[in-house]
Structure 1
Amino acid sequence: MRVVFNKKIALLIFIFCLQTSFFNAQDNIPKIQFPQGEITSVVLEAKIDSIINVLTLEEKVAMTHAQSKFSTKGVERLGIPEVWMSDGPHGVREEISWDAWENAGWTNDAITAFPALTCLAATFNPELSGEYGFNLGEEARYREKDVLLGPGVNIYRTPFNGRNFEYLGEDPFLASTMVVPYIKGVQKNGIAACVKHFALNNQEHLRDKINVEVSDRALYEIYLPAFKAAVQEGKVWALMGAYNKFRGQYTTHNKILNKILKTDWGYDGVVISDWSSVHSTKEAALYGVDMEMGTGTDGLGTTTNNHYQHYYLANPFLKALKKGELSEDLVNDKVRRILRLIYRTSLNPNRALGKMNNKEHHKVARKIATEGIVLLKNEDNFFPIKDKKGLTIAVIGENATRNMTQGGGSSQLKPLFEVSPLEGLRARYKNAKIIHTMGFESGASVYDEVVPASLNQDSLYVKAIEVAKKADIVLFVGGLNKSHHQDSEGDDREVFALPFGQEKLINGIQEVNKNLGFLLLTGNAVEMNWLPKTKGVIQTWYLGSMAGHAIADIVSGDVNPSGKLPFSFPKKLEDNAAHSFGKLSYPGIDENQYYKEDILVGYRWFDTRKIEPQFAFGYGLSYSSFKISDVKINQKKYSENDKIKVTFNVSNTGNREGAEVVQVYVGKYKSKVKRALKELKGFTKVNLEKGLQKTASVTLNVSDLAYYNTEISSWSLEKGTYYIYVGNASNNITKKIKFSIL
């Protein structure tokens, strides 16, 4: 029997509870399972209000700032627990010391490293994103965390951004679609996902100083949709502010937090500052940040006795409240959100115990890795490479053995193991002979300091050429790594080309051995003048614990590649929209930066300006071949509340099973406002055995074709003629269909 509660009944229950000991917050907070439905939130909110009423002002303030590097205080006398947080988006970070950034030295905090989020985005598989989130959430739960500081959804604007590897690509629809199941998966474990960094944190260079100026259209159409999806569809419980300024005000305590996030979107979770991103007590109190982390007394990493009491939301906040300079309602709202977080996490009676480093997690990590790897070039069917006796494969490159889970800033991990590309290939190829040499050495880095290479680069080069001469096939394993000025937090890349003399080495190898393939390990696009010298190129990303096995799965053909690029690869840096406008657009001048490309980010820029990319958004090859045919829409004329159903046939015309990602873009013909030629509005991944055909569909909401109208500060659906574009990459369209919105 289902009991339906209305608001009057809920109110009567609430009044009854107030008259009983149920809401006596001076007792330990009861771990109760609330009923489902409307009554749940009513009772919970009433309980939270009753707790706030008996908290002292000092206790309230203490809950709004850190007590250690990764935790905040509870209230022991009332049984309110501490809140424990951990980086990061693709694995639970090792334990950090209470009051310093050093490793705490635990021996039981090794975890499964999952692939970085660029790889997840490249799967174009929302279901797999849910598996990713759930398995990662299990590991966070096992480590007794309450908040997992991820995922990141900042838009890929420039290939120089040091943290692009942590994010979900250049397209707001793709990022929105992939982030929602990730969040839901994490939070099924009673662990809060913390989507970050709100907002416009699209570069690491001068990240704590740069002031971003961007139009409202670009803000709403490009940079906010994934955050909005995380809040309204993913129901995310936590969100992290960013370091940069927006229109002169730091984003961690910017007016848009209250206006857009908490009011317009109805966000009921907590806003956590990025570490050291708070700069003002008054603004932090007024403009939306609920928990201040990492500030110290004079900046990131300070360890002074009782320095947590000097946070902006600590003693200075308490003093302003006691003087009446700030309303107690402000701290009450913050505490209300924190208590809501606690009930959803540590006081959630349905939380399982979690799991860590089990076979299921390793299997999921490997599956994500293989689905996200992108085959970029395959001349003369260079890949897959068969394992046969008498075959000699030379594996050349430092990245074949380099640890890629360490470094990168706050996303660095301490996995139980990390299978290198060389280890994975050797484990898979039992018959062929595999020989390895470094070829180049990159050195290392300690967060923001580069340690130069210690080996003689000329000697490494000569040895690599000698090894290449003796091999039947060469696999060059190169790209970037997670050191400073590469794919790393703290600053951006400084050159678009491959570093450490890799291009010279590729050219030298190709002169002595034409059978050259490249396993490219990066989280960013790189310049590819060397591309004609290779027969095959595989974009492998940073793949975590199971990296080597996943790479070997693709190289050997055990798994057919199906990944698609989540961002465009420009031929030269100036072809990228942000860089085409000069320093004012990137990296900024005098700490001010203007997003002059506006809404034309990524493929929108390439398509609209008719610039040919090196590799397009959505591009990726397979060992099979596919045909998209018989593309239709359900009608030719639509109104605002209608749905557009796009149906099509997908045929596997190759000789083995595989998967194709069918992408649906929409463009407005002769729009009255500036528009991209087309924008991604739907996609589906279709798995097929060889020779088979399947009918599939993608459904679009007509209302989602609106643009942000700055004249009315809201969304407008323009009437008139539109086109649907269906294909398997942004620059490879199979069918274009005209329709109208009335």
Structure 2
Amino acid sequence: MKYRELIKKMTLEEKASLMSGKDFWQTQEIERLGINSMFLADGPHGIRKQAVAADHLGLNVGIPATCFPTAATVANSWNEELGERVGEYLGEEAISQKVNVLLGPGVNMKRNPLCGRNFQYYSEDPYLAGKMAAGYIRGIQSHGISACVKHFCANNQEERRMAIDTIVDERTLREIYLTAFEIAVKEGRTRAIMSSYNMINGTYTNENMHLMRDILRGEWNYKGCVITDWGGSNDRIAGLLAGNELEMPTTAGETNEEIIKAIKSGKIKEEVLDECVDRLLELIFTTEEVYKRPHIEFDVDKHHRVAQKVAEESIVLLKNEENILPLKYGKKVAVIGDFAKNARYQGAGSSIVNPTILDHTMDCFNESGIISIGYEPGFERYGKKDKKKIEKACELARKADVILLYIGLDEVTEADGLDRQSMSIPENQIELLNALYTVNSNIIAILSCGSAVEMPWISKLKAVLHGYLGGQAGSRAILRILSGDVNPSGKLAETYPIRYEDTPSFHNFPGKEVSVEYREGIYIGYRYYDTASVDVLFPFGYGLSYTTFEYSDIHVSRYGATFKLKNSGNVAGMEIAQLYIGCKSKEIFRPKKELKGFTKIFINAGETKTVTIPFDDKTFRYFNVKTNKWEVEESEYEIMIGASSDDIRVKDTIFIEGTGAPLPYDKAALQSYYSGKTNNVTVEEFERLIGRKVPVSKWDRSKPLGYNDTIAQCQYAKGIFARFSYYMIVFAYWFLRKIGKRSTANIIMMSIYHMPFRGIARVTGGVVNMPMLDGILMMVNGNFFKGLVHLLKERNKKLKSPKNK
């Protein structure tokens, strides 16, 4: 241990006190020993340090900070160096606000397009997500502070996220849901990791010895800190044993007492606590070094320009019929759509950033060279139908050569704590599109949303430009692409299915009660669509340019693939070349192709460049569940270089010697997995894959409700008081949506409805402790007066405690 001598000077109580927060965002300090508190702040795409009373829901306004494009947007750049640059600027702003730990990036997989937090995550592919995250981490930590990669792991739905049990086989866990974290740890060298709320195979991630000890600390040799998600601690002693250093937010000393009692009783050894203290001290001392230097404010205008550059390189051109883009000089343009005037530029919830500057489309036309003849909102932002707005929009559209139609998803549709209900764009926007098409068919749609949507209406559009959530400078960036000042170079980091029913997890998302089963296994995203031969709207890695690129002369060696790339068009541009591999052996089930490398290259018109994409330790590996190790299967491998997963331009083969591991599967027993057609696997076949019975996925309504049951389950409670409370919550949600207060309604769902009872104690900063919670549960389970007496008794005891005087 690095700080052994300092730890010897601490009392048991002082050591335990460091294991949970001082308040909502700060850690505890020990003044007599020179141990200062750290400040942790949300920051996946901008710093959210709140100016007034702290909360975790995004209710209170943060100190102004640059709002960069979200992770889902920047992933479309496929540019690790750009990600690192964003990280550098985030780190600089964190220092200006005296933040020690920036809570990001998020690297969870986009298992399903409806996950409400997909806008915060990079990709459906772990290799791309890991590489982009590693860049962010290197950039953030180059300033001396710490990144905090989240949410570790298999946190792929927002509904019931604090209680859901993720049932997943070991190979899928390793290859799909842990690989991005592995890259973040080994290549990004992150100093902190945030554990997720959910359970994995019956154990909360924060307490999961296999995840935290065997893999994270053991195989990956991780030396940094593990921090709980806010309110995400279940059993504090189990978490400590698993190697969790910091529980957030504060529990007003309640869990510190649990640690002290556990050590005094011999339940755990004090050395376990000392190891955790040592790792936390390393994070505290290393991240405070930067604050010994003179304070420097960041350059607001420079950071805004960087945000614009990032957005420009991340925007994806999805359709360009008749080469309508870039807009020809002198074309009269009608600007229609609420998102043009009031930009949709970021997600909602805990990641809300208060931007330093905010570009709006209507304010940027003069410098773009595009001639706007007027603006009409066309639709009501939150879905309400309005025929007059459509009529006015059509009247304007008749006078224009081209319509710029700004459509997408609103802020309350994409938010942490809630999943989307469908992949559809709101109906009132589609009614507007249909009406516009009857008067002017030259329609260019500019999409603003952080996740995949269905587009059954795309045939009525000449062009589609997807801006995703482009941050505070996204509006200007879009205009620069429309005008041709910038050649689009973004490519999709996720597949767009034709319909939601086509997705591999359609039948198993979300988990509604006890658990969610990952029956599709390793076949998520393009791995499924390609292998099962399912048609898609836009494939993974897809994106158009104003120029064209030719691939030729591939040569494969044991070190990588080399090929020639020519810009065969008339405009300079950037191309994202993607390396996929496919194993020709059929002995072990594998996807048809998997991304194993990529590079983004700028090429002048007519120029040819020789490009090499190297192989690495992840190129040929798979996880063998029999040997419990990464192995290489001996086989011929197809090496494919393409412009997308569905557009392979050149390919070659190479023979790779294997590690000689035994075959892990009985092919006859897992026919769905060998065919890749896994969107409706039976429970029996899934059980053969995981090697055990799956737990019952439904609530046992006969049992009394406990700590890990949710408020939603009060509908089955024995206590009339609890059932009444449940129906009042449901009514409040319905009523608030009815009167247009959708954001407030969402808060009820994510902060109350899906909250486990233990969360009441974990997120209230000690206002309600666990003994008081016992009284609440007595009331819920039918012993109202006994529970009420217990609650009041424990409350009085708490108020009389010396700590509260």
* From 538, 542, 561, the counterpart of 2:488: 561
What is the rounded CA distance, in whole Å, between the counterparts of 1:633 and 1:177 in structure 2? 23
**For the Cα contact (< 8 Å) 1:382–1:535, is it kept in 2?**
yes
What corresponds to 1:729 in structure 2? Answer: 644
> Which residue does the alignment assign to 2:469?
542
**Counterparts of 2:381 and 2:183 in 1: how far apart (Å)?**
39
Instruction: Give the structure 2 partner of residue 480 of structure 1.
Output: 409
1:568-579 equivalent positions in 2, closer than 5 A: 568-579=495-506
Which residue of the partner structure matches residue 514 of structure 1? 441
Equivalent residues of 1:190, 1:351 under 8 A apart = no
Show structure 2 runs of 5+ residues with no match: 658-805
How far the C-alpha of 1:469 sits from its partner, in A, is: 1.9
In the alignment, does 2:2 pair up with 1:63?
no
Change (3 A) 1:191 1:721: same
Given that 1:372 and 1:562 are in contact with CA atoms closer than 8 Å, whether structure 2 keeps it comes out as: yes
CA distance in 2, matches of 1:86, 1:360: 22
Matching residue within 134, 153, 157 for 1:203: 157
Matching of residues 32-111 of structure 1 within 5 Å:
45-46=1-2, 48-95=3-50, 97-98=52-53, 100=55, 109-111=63-65
Task: Please give the alpha-carbon distance, in whole angstroms, between the structure 1 residues aligned to 2:133 and 2:213.
Answer: 22
Give the equivalent residue in structure 1 for 2:391. Answer: 462
Cα distance between partner residues in 1 of 2:359 and 2:376: 17
**Aligned position for 1:689:** 604
Q: Secondary structure at the match of 1:463?
A: helix
Alpha-carbon offset, residue 427 of structure 1: 3.8
Counterpart Cα distance in 2 of 1:404 and 1:623: 25
* Residue 387 of structure 2 is aligned to residue 432 of structure 1: no
Aligned-partner SS, 1:66: coil
| Residue deviations 1:17-72 (CA, integer Å, cap 9, x gap) | xxxxxxxxxxxxxxxxxxxxxxxxxxxx54x1111110111111111111111111
Query: Aligned runs of 1:95-244 on 2, under 5 Å?
Result: 95=50, 97-98=52-53, 100=55, 109-244=63-198
Aligned to 1:598: 521
1:293-335 CA distance string (max 9 Å, x none): 13x6xxxxxxxxxx5223x3x2222333333333212221221
SS in 1 for 2:135: helix
Shift of 1:734: 0.9
**Structure 1 residues 51 and 97: CA distance shift in structure 2, 3 A:** farther
* Aligned positions of 1:214-613 closer than 5 A: 214-255=168-209, 256-294=211-249, 308-310=252-254, 312=255, 314-348=256-290, 353-388=295-330, 391-404=331-344, 408-424=348-364, 426-430=365-369, 432-443=371-382, 457-483=386-412, 486-579=413-506, 582=507, 585-613=508-536
Question: How far is 1:347 from its partner?
Answer: 3.1
Is 1:655 the counterpart of 2:588 in the alignment? no
Identity of aligned residues (%): 38
Paired residue secondary structure (2:354): coil
Distance 1:586 1:518 in 2: 30
Letter in 2 for 1:468: A
Please tell me whether the aligned partners of residues 143 and 290 of structure 2 are also in contact (alpha carbons under 8 angstroms).
no
Is the contact between residue 116 and residue 166 of structure 1 (CA under 8 Å) also seen in structure 2?
Answer: yes
Contact 1:96 1:103 in 2 (8 A): no
- Look up the SS of the partner of 1:346 in the other structure: helix
Residue of structure 2 equivalent to 1:740: 655
In structure 1, how many angstroms separate the alpha carbons of the residues matched to 2:467 and 2:380? 20
In structure 2, C-alpha distance between the alignment counterparts of 1:320 and 1:437, rounded to whole Å: 65
State how many pairs are aligned: 656
Question: Partners of 2:274 and 2:74 in 1: how far apart?
Answer: 38
Question: Greater share of helix residues, 1 or 2?
Answer: 2
The 1:698–1:106 alpha-carbon spacing in structure 2 relative to 1, beyond 3 Å, is closer
By how many angstroms is 1:115 displaced?
Answer: 0.5
Q: CA deviation at 1:159?
A: 0.7
- Once residues 302 and 368 of structure 2 are traced to their aligned partners in structure 1, the CA distance between those partners, rounded to angstroms, is 24
Secondary structure of 1:68's counterpart equals coil
Matches of 1:103 and 1:275 in 2, distance apart? 13
Kindly provide the amino acid, as one letter, of the partner of residue 76 in structure 1.
Answer: E
Deviation of residue 577 (structure 1)?
A: 1.0
Offset from partner CA, 1:455-504 (integer Å, 9 cap, x none): x6222222222222222211111111321xx2211110001111142222
| Aligned-partner Cα distance in 2 for 1:102–1:121 | 25
> Retained in 1: the 8 A contact 2:69–2:345?
no
3-state SS of 1:207 partner: coil
Q: Does the 8 Å contact 2:61/2:354 carry over to 1?
A: no
RMSD (Å), alpha carbons: 1.9
Ranges in structure 1 where 5+ consecutive residues have no aligned partner = 1-44, 297-306, 444-451, 635-642
Q: Which moved more, 1:379-388 or 1:318-327?
A: 318-327
Retained in 2: the 8 A contact 1:112–1:357?
Answer: no
Higher mean C-alpha displacement, 719-728 vs 254-263: 254-263
Structure-2 separation of matches of 1:349 and 1:460: 53
Moved more, 534-543 or 351-360: 351-360
Asked if the contact 2:345/2:474 (under 8 Å) is kept, the reply is no
C-alpha displacement of 1:670: 2.3
Q: 1:719 aligns with which of 622, 629, 634?
A: 634
Distance in 1 (alpha carbons) for counterparts of 2:335 and 2:37: 49
Q: Which residue of 1 aligns with 2:539?
A: 616
Deviation, structure 1 residue 96: 5.3
SS at match of 1:83: coil
Instruction: Show the counterpart of 2:589.
Output: 674
In the alignment, the residues of structure 2 paired with residue 52 and residue 431 of structure 1 have an alpha-carbon distance, to the nearest angstrom, of 65
Secondary structure of the corresponding residue to residue 347 of structure 1: helix
Deviations 1:705-738 (A, max 9, x none): 1110000100111102110111100000112212
Aligned with 1:577: secondary structure?
Answer: coil
Shift of 1:596: 1.1
State the SS of the aligned residue for 1:664. strand
- The offset of 1:633, in angstroms, is 1.2
SS of 1:711's equivalent in the other structure is coil
Letter in 2 for 1:625: T
Preserved contact between residue 428 and residue 552 of structure 1 (Cα < 8 Å): no
Q: Which residue of 2 is the match for residue 631 of structure 1?
A: 554
Q: Is the 8 A contact 1:69 1:98 kept in 2?
A: no
Query: Does structure 1 conserve the Cα–Cα contact (< 8 Å) formed by 2:549 and 2:567?
Result: yes
Change (3 A) 1:287 1:201: same
The residue type paired with residue 177 of structure 2 is Y
